Structure 1
Amino acid sequence: MSEPAIIRPDKQTFLAEENPFEAMMERFDHAAKLLNLDRGLYKVLRNPEKQIIVSVPILRDSGEVEVYTGYRVLYNTSRGPAKGGIRFDLNVTLEEVKALAAWMTWKCALVNIPFGGSKGGVVCDPSTMSMGELERVTRRYTSSIIEVLGPDSDVPAPDVNTNERVMAWIMDTYSMHKRHTVTAVVTGKPVEMGGSLGRREATGRGCMIVTREALAKLGMSFKGARIAVQGFGNVGSIAADLMAKEGAVIVAVSDKSTALYNPQGLDVQELLKWVKERRQLAGYTKAETISHEQVLTVDCEVLIPAATENVITRKNAPHIKAKIICEGANGPTSAAADKILEDKGVFVIPDILANAGGVTVSYFEWVQDRGGYFWDEETVNRRLEAILVRSFGEVMAMASRYKVANRIASYIVAVDRVAAMHRLRGMYA
């Protein structure tokens, strides 16, 4: 077999503490109650619009036929085309995909971009595939769900174990079926084929922006602030780099291979170079090696869980010392842990705000593709900052108005916007 197509980053799986969809819906229920949502609309918003399960047969390089299972869930499209990533991972489940599609619905509404929410995935392990096998999985999966895809209906993006190359294959497959090039069918593409400048860094940059706003609200700044980052992939590494450039001290980082700690601060540029050459943090000797669990509980002002879901639990939440948690990953905090953190007075920047930079610049990419006019990176970053600063302020105002934690305040803003669109559109029957 030839070289593996993708080296897997930190695995992102939902742990057993709670069902991901029901955990997310508990927060929706809380927001719906505070908004006094009518019963009929509540039932509509609690259910996904479409759930697709497909078989994805491919021919392996060995000549053997392999059949994978694929999913695509469109949760809500009242505000615009569905938007959500595609992940290739052995741990993909329908419940996970439903939860992530719902999260995308609320995330897009929170930052007020005209998208609904979707998510998709194939149950497979790309690290065991050749490039050709990965391409065949991608194209067969795309053709199996093609009836829901389109710039006006459902727009995928990269997620776990997928990247610009995979998006290029999806765009090409869709375009071949339509008999003309349709760049806006996916985002997160290579810049050369209609991708946006700033897209790769957008989620990490968004984390930096909202963390800066949170620090300011608490009377602090990045200067000298100690930061621990769980996950040194695309989100965590870029957030760490940008925060270090603002004067923060990165005291701990981790990836799947190891966890590193230096109370005096790690050299982020050196770590980035190390990972670029070796694809993992393991083997780096200019820091103390600690357990992955310890990264979450080191002395710091800011903790950024940017690798996996459901890692902050009722067991470790009491031991977290950070004043601010910026959720770079989707769903890193369990509902039980949420309550503990709230009682401790930890300022949580919830996932649907903290990591919304990625989908915001995906929206910019979609707009640029539709208009055929592309922006420079400074324009992309300036417009991203404006949206996230405004959204942060709206969440703070809602938290103050309803006397609730930031997560519920975020859901109130988001659910209210989706509900308002449903009321205006009415029900077609």
Structure 2
Amino acid sequence: MTRTGRWPLHPPPQAGEALSSWLYRIAHLYSLSMDALLEHDLSHRGLTGRELDDDPPPALLETIAARSGVPMDRLRPMSLAGWAPWLLDNPDPKRCSFPTYVHQLSVLLPTDRRDPGVRAPTSARWRPWVSTNHITRACPDCVTPSGPWAIPLIGQLPLTLGCPIHHRRLESCAALPHLLVRWETDEPDTRATTGPEAALDTLTAQALDVGAVALCRRAVHAGVWFRMLRTLLDELCTPFRAAGPSSDDLRRIWTIVGRRPQRVLTTTFEELDWAAQADLLAAAAVAIDLLGAGTITARGTHGHLLCPCPPTTVFGGRLTLRHPSPPHSVHPASDDDTATLWAHVHSSMEAAITAARQDPATAQALFTLARNGCRTQAAELRLRTAFAQHGIALPVSDTTTAQPKTTRSPG
């Protein structure tokens, strides 16, 4: 029988926690199994933990929101479906296009150096970043018996190498939230991530937390960042003989990493095992570090975003500017009028924010208006952070500005 009203006891979800992890911790408070909580309290029977973390039924989320008081905007990002279209185009694999997601952009290599048929997915259910071999990874320093810990959603995807807090490699494990963790090896490898690896994890964490990433040239939308990173991973798998002028750069990257697994030449990233995926992510971290230092050349249409800004010539003279005095109002407003006007401003802003949360076109129009006051990339990034904190999702196309003219299609 389904209960009504609020749960008397329920811990708040932790930042980045997966939906299945949070529900398991709630079920444990009442000495229930996950299946019993779903069937008898939430009226949803037979859902697995992976289905909860993938694309839970909207009716289930509405019931959880009513039972816990946690708003829907907080519940949706606890599953992969809540990250569409930022992280993946659509929760439905039939609506995810491998060529569009992976080959639309280019970073290291020009588009004519890419063989689109070499690493095409073998399964019709391909989705970006969703591994065919389900994995659960956690930070050994985060999993402590004395404190609360949870299974992060991002730990189930081959998207990061280490913990952004402790800068330690995430290790494969089988875990029950806050109760038990069984590491894949007897003693988990707690080696620290390298500088380039930690920097890459920081950029990805910034995309997930803020919705934008501050690169060398400018800030880009999280959706652009995830597609750039996935494109870079595919370019790193290009055979050296087919890379043309970029072959020396590819050899340098893989020499620093140590080895390039043979399977990456013919197998899609999502279909590799975690060891090969980790090697590819390490190579991407090295490539981004070398691009930022100007050591290797980015020949793709979007690679310049990862390169340092070119030096500029600054005028050394002095200009005298005459600033006109501000105009004076002929009819200054009284205190009562000022209070009324400010109340009208606040109510108008609240109405605009509410409309922007529901309508992407309104969100972009409001952001365009607010961005007029931004003079630096840092100011624009702070503005994007404010929009994300208010629950306003900006469209991916908002940050895709015109690229340098080229004779070839961007792919």
Shared fold by TM > 0.5? Answer: no
TM range (shorter): under 0.3
Which of structures 1 and 2 has the bigger CA Rg? 2
Q: From the two aligned structures, give the one with the greater strand fraction.
A: 1
